[in-house]
C-alpha cells in the first residue's frame, strides 16, 4: 500500500534491445556487465530495493548462457521480489507479427519467468511503434489487467490523462498508463545528488498535469543503461526537501493506486497509431521487406502446417514433438523485437535474423515430413498411393495438386547420363553399362553385379543393348541402405549403343511396376476412379535421394479430393493402365451466352 503522502514511485530499470545499432553479441557483453553490476548492488545495498527488467525474460537466458554460475543468485533476487521480470519473452512489434505470435510470446515469457520464481503480471510494453486495439483482449486472457506504454497517443490524452481504462472490441479491458515523457523520464541522473534532485523536481512538475491518480512514475533507466547506485541517496535528498515523498518501487505498486481510482478514470477503445507525443517511425513497415516476407512464411508454416499436422500425427501414431516446436518458436520470437522485425537495425542484425528464419524452416520441414510419414504409415498398403492432407479445421472438397516421382510407379528415364569414369574406353557393351554411375557405385562397394537380363531394343534406326540390374537385395546386405530405399531406385535399365556408349538410363523403385509406360489412374477407398489430370511433367531431382540423386520425371497432377475431414487425411490408390480411364465429370457442361459463362 502506497501512503497518501507519496507522490511518485521511482522505477530503477533498463530498456534492453538485444540487437540494434550493434549486433547481438556486442550488446550481450554489455548485458553481462550490467547484470553483474546489478547483482553486486543488490547484495551490498538493501536500500536499493528493486530493479525492473524491461518486461522481458529473454535477457536472462542471454546472460546465463555466458555466466551460468550466477543462476542461483539471480533466482534468489527474482524470488524475493527485488528483480522483476516478464511477462513477455521479448518486447515485440505488434503490427508486423501474428496474433498467435503475441500469445506464444507471453506463454514463453511466463514459462521462463516461472523457472526463476515470479512473473511481473503487468502489461509493460514501453517502446513498440504503436499498439494494436487487441492488446487489452490478449493481456486479459493471461490474467493481466494493465498496460503501460509510451508511443502511439494523440489528442485523446488531453482528456484521458495518463491513466485510463483501455477497452478492446470484445469488451475486455485493462488499466492503462501512458508514459507522457516516455520510459526514461529520469534516466541517467547526474552523479551530483543536488543536480539529480533538481532534474527530478522538474520532471515531477511536467508530469503532474497528466496524472489522474495523484501518483507518478519516475523511470530511472533507458536504452542499455545500467542501474545507478546513488539513486537511494538521491531519493533521501529529495524527500528531505519536499513535503510529498518519492519511493523506490515497482510497477505493480503503482498499479495498486490506479486500481483504487478506477471508477474515476475515463475509457478509450481502439488502437494507438498517433504520433503527437512520440515518433511512430511508420516507414519501418516497408523497410527490408524480405524480413517481413520471411516472417510471414515462418509464422504460417508453424501455425498452419507444423502444429496441426504434428497434432494429428500424435493422435494417430506417435508422441507430440513439443520441445522441437518450442525451439522453432524461440527462434521466431527472437526476430520479433521492434528494431529487428521493423528492419531498422544494422545489416549484421538482419543477417542473424535470416539465419534464424532458415533454422525455423529446417525444423519445420523436418517435423512436417515426420508427421506425414507417420500418417502415411497408418494407411499404407501394398499398392502405391498418395495421401492428401487437410491442415485446416474445416472439411473440404477441392482440387489438390500432387507431385509424383514416376520412379515410384514404373521405370522413368533419367534426364542425363552419368558415368563413373567419363574417360573410360569400354571394350564391350557390358563394360560400358557397368561404368554408369549407379552400377559403378555398387561395384565400388564391393559387389560386381551381374545383370538380371540382357535384351536388344530398337529405337528408330538404332539398335541398343539393354542391361537390367536389380539391387533390391542390398537392404539385406547393408541394413543402413534400408533407410534410403524409399527414395532411391533399385532396378536400372542401362542402354548402350553400337559404339559402347551409354545413351539411356532408366530406373524404378523396389516396389514399382516393371513397366516403361502407362497412364496414371487415381482411385478412392471404394475403388472408384477419381477425377485427375496431369498438369506438367518435368525433370526434377529427389532431395531425399542421399546416395545418388538423379533428375527424373516428376509429374504434377490435379486430383479431386472429396470430403477430406478437417485436420484429416485421405489415401488414394495409384495404378497404371494401358489406356486412359474415364472419370466421372465433376461439373456439368458449361452454360454460356454473349455476356456470361458458368458451370
- Catalytic positions, please? 127
CA angle (573 as vertex; 572, 579 as ends), nearest 5: 120
Give the CA distances from residue 119 to residues 214, 322, 544, in Å, rounded to whole numbers and listed in that order.
27, 23, 45
CB half-sphere exposure, 111, CA atoms < 13 A: 11
Helix (H, G, I), strand (E, B) or coil at 177: strand
Name which of 130, 119, 117 is nearest 86 in CA terms.
119
Cα–Cα distance for residue pair 513/501, rounded to 1 Å: 27
Q: How many CB atoms lie within 10 A of CB 14?
A: 24
Which residues on neighbouring strands pair with residue 551, listed in sequence order? 541
Query: How far does the chain reach from its first CA to its final CA, in angstroms?
Result: 72
- DSSP labels for 137-151? HHHHHTT--EEEE-S
Q: What is the C-alpha to C-alpha distance for residues 217 and 215, in angstroms, rounded to an integer? A: 7
Percent helix, strand, coil in the chain, to 5, is 35, 25, 40
Q: Which of 525, 294, 513, 262 is nearest to 411 (CA)?
A: 513
User: Strand (E) positions, 430-567?
Assistant: 453-459, 462-470, 491-496, 502-508, 519-523, 532-541, 551-564
Query: Per-residue b/e over 505-524, b at no fewer than 16 CB within 10 Å?
Result: bbbbbbebeeeeebebbbbb
Cis status, amide bond into 87, omega within 30 of 0: yes
Task: Work out the number of other CB atoms within 10 angstroms of the CB of residue 175.
Answer: 22
* Among the listed residues 561, 581, 582, the one whose alpha carbon sits nearest the alpha carbon of residue 518: 581
For 446-451, which contacts have Cβ atoms below 8 Å and span 24 or more sequence positions? Answer: 447/477
Q: Counting Cβ atoms within 10 Å, is residue 159 exposed (0-12), middle (13-18) or buried (19+)?
A: exposed
Q: Distance between CA atoms of 164 and 148, rounded to whole angstroms?
A: 11
Amino acid at each position: 500500500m502506497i501512503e497518501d503522502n507519496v507522490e511518485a514511485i521511482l522505477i530503477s530499470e533498463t530498456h534492453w534491445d538485444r540487437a540494434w545499432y550493434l549486433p547481438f553479441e556486442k550488446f550481450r557483453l554489455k548485458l553481462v556487465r550490467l547484470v553483474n553490476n546489478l547483482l553486486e548492488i543488490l547484495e551490498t545495498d538493501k536500500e536499493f530495493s528493486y530493479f525492473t527488467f524491461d518486461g522481458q525474460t529473454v535477457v536472462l537466458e542471454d546472460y546465463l548462457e555466458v555466466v551460468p554460475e550466477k543462476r542461483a543468485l539471480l533466482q534468489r533476487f527474482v524470488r524475493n521480489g527485488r528483480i522483476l521480470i516478464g511477462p513477455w519473452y521479448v518486447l515485440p512489434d505488434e503490427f508486423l507479427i501474428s496474433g498467435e505470435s503475441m500469445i506464444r510470446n507471453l506463454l514463453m515469457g511466463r514459462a521462463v519467468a516461472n523457472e526463476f520464481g515470479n512473473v511481473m503480471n503487468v502489461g509493460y510494453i514501453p517502446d513498440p511503434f504503436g499498439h494494436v486495439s487487441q492488446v487489452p483482449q490478449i493481456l486479459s486472457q493471461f490474467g493481466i489487467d494493465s498496460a503501460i506504454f509510451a508511443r502511439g497517443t494523440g489528442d485523446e490524452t488531453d482528456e484521458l490523462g495518463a491513466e485510463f481504462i483501455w477497452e478492446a472490441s470484445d469488451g475486455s479491458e485493462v488499466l492503462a498508463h501512458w508514459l507522457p515523457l516516455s520510459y526514461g523520464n529520469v534516466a541517467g541522473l547526474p552523479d551530483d545528488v543536488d543536480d539529480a534532485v533538481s532534474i527530478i523536481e522538474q520532471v515531477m512538475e511536467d508530469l503532474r498535469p497528466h496524472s489522474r491518480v495523484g501518483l507518478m512514475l519516475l523511470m530511472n533507466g533507458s536504452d542499455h543503461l545500467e542501474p545507478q547506485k546513488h539513486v537511494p541517496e538521491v531519493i533521501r535528498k529529495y524527500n528531505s526537501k519536499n513535503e510529498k515523498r518519492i519511493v523506490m518501487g515497482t510497477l505493480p505498486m503503482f498499479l495498486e493506486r490506479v486500481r483504487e481510482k478506477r471508477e474515476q478514470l475515463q475509457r478509450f477503445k481502439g488502437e494507438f497509431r498517433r504520433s503527437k507525443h512520440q515518433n511512430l517511425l511508420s516507414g519501418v513497415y516497408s523497410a527490408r521487406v524480405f524480413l517481413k516476407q520471411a516472417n510471414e512464411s515462418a509464422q504460417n508454416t508453424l501455425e498452419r502446417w507444423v502444429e496441426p499436422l504434428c497434432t494429428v500425427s500424435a493422435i494417430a501414431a506417435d508422441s507430440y514433438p513439443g520441445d522441437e516446436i518450442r525451439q522453432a518458436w524461440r527462434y521466431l520470437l527472437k526476430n520479433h523485437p521492434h528494431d529487428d522485425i521493423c528492419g531498422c537495425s544494422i545489416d549484421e542484425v538482419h543477417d542473424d535474423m535470416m539465419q534464424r528464419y532458415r533454422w525455423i524452416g529446417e525444423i519445420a520441414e523436418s517435423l512436417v515430413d515426420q508427421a506425414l510419414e507417420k500418417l502415411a504409415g497408418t494407411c499404407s498398403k501394398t499398392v502405391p498411393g498418395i495421401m492428401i492432407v487437410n491442415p485446416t479445421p474445416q472439411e473440404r472438397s477441392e482440387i489438390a495438386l500432387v507431385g509424383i516421382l514416376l520412379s515410384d510407379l514404373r521405370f522413368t528415364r533419367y534426364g542425363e547420363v552419368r558415368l563413373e569414369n567419363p574417360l573410360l574406353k569400354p571394350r564391350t557393351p557390358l563394360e560400358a553399362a557397368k561404368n554408369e554411375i549407379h552400377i559403378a557405385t555398387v561395384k565400388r562397394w564391393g559387389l560386381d553385379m551381374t545383370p538380371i537380363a540382357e535384351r536388344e531394343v530398337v529405337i528408330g534406326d538404332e539398335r541398343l543393348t539393354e542391361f537390367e540390374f536389380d539391387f533390391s537385395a542390398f537392404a539385406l546386405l547393408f541394413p543402413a541402405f534400408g533407410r534410403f530405399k524409399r527414395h532411391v531406385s533399385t532396378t536400372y535399365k542401362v542402354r548402350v549403343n553400337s559404339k559402347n556408349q551409354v545413351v539411356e538410363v532408366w530406373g524404378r523403385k523396389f516396389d514399382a511396376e516393371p513397366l516403361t509406360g502407362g497412364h496414371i489412374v487415381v482411385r478412392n477407398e471404394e475403388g472408384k476412379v477419381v477425377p485427375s489430370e496431369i498438369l506438367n511433367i518435368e525433370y526434377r531431382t529427389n532431395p531425399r535421394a542421399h546416395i545418388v540423386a538423379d533428375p527424373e520425371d516428376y509429374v504434377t497432377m490435379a486430383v479431386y479430393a472429396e470430403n477430406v475431414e478437417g485436420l484429416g487425411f485421405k489415401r488414394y490408390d495409384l495404378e497404371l493402365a494401358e489406356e486412359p480411364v474415364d472419370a466421372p465429370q465433376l461439373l456439368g457442361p458449361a452454360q454460356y451466352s454473349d455476356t456470361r459463362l458458368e458451370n
